Amino acid sequence: MTGEKKTEERYATIQLNGIKKIYHIGGEELAALNGITTNIYQGEFAALMGPSGSGKSTLMNILGCLDRPTEGSYKLDGEEVAGLDDDALARTRNKKIGFVFQNFNLLSRISALENVALPLIYAGVGHRERTERAMHFLEAVGLKDRADHLPNELSGGQRQRVAIARALVNDPHIIMADEPTGNLDTKSTKEIMEIFESMHEKGRTIILVTHEPEIAACASRQLLVRDGQITRDEGKGVVMDVV
């Protein structure tokens, strides 16, 4: 009975049905995504893997409402978003999704605190509340004492922690991370993955793109993308070959 109850409570925050992305290049059609159908459930930690050109980055862009599919249905929290215009996509993205990128994407001339607070400016939050919330999330990633430092005064691992704090400051329930450990050393990689695992334990939905099988194996679910399709769907701990 306990297992049945757990299944009933499982909620698909992302529902993809027949997702295709077709590019027209030199008079020919190139299908970057070729009919992807899957669900990602609330509170899952899902890793997207695949070789270069597999379609995983295209899929990430669609999941993050940075792009639209050519065909198919994408429901985010039950709302169809596949056909939204740019403004509506941006509103959905800013409200529900936080992003972490391989290259950190921090503004070099402002402090760590100001970088974290940036999404709140776009959301119309006042200065005092922006500062308090930004400091709270810097403290959550262990960087309260680096709040006034510029990005070039921080290590790679510290800059990625600032980027994670910035992704969290709007309190999105989905975090999307594109190769977040790609530019980090082994020690920093371990620290960043511990932060992601902590966020997962607190109930956030995390979608992480990585080339590294050992990183993907930390996720509760691993999706292997090849030739624009999901070809494997594995659980935690499986080390998959992406070549």
Model confidence at 1: pLDDT above 80: no
Number of structural domains in the chain:
1
Confidence band for 9, pLDDT divided at 50, 70 and 90: low
Tell me whether residue 32 is in a domain.
no
Tell me whether residue 105 is in a domain.
yes
Distance of alpha carbon 239 from the chain centroid: 21
pLDDT of 4? 43
- Domain at 173, CATH number: 3.40.50.300
pLDDT of 130? 94
Model confidence at 58: pLDDT above 60: yes
Residue 78 neighbours by CB under 8 Å, 6+ apart? none
Model confidence at 7: pLDDT above 70: no
pLDDT of 5? 40
Q: Which of 239, 104, 76 is nearest to 167 (CA)?
A: 104
Q: Domain limits at 128?
A: 42-66+91-235
Tell me whether residue 185 is in a domain.
yes
Model confidence at 214: pLDDT above 70: yes
Average pLDDT over residues 178-194: 91
Tell me whether residue 99 is in a domain.
yes
78: buried, middle or exposed (CB in 10 Å: 19+, 13-18, 0-12)? exposed
Tell me whether residue 14 is in a domain.
no
Tell me whether residue 241 is in a domain.
no
b/e code 174-206 from CB counts within 10 Å (16+ = b): bbbbbbbbbbbeeebbebbbebbeebbeeebbb
CA distances from 173 to 20, 86, 96, 219 (A): 25, 21, 6, 17
pLDDT of 68? 93
Tell me whether residue 4 is in a domain.
no
Tell me whether residue 75 is in a domain.
no
Structure pTM? 0.87
Average pLDDT over residues 204-225: 92
For the chain, give the mean pLDDT.
90
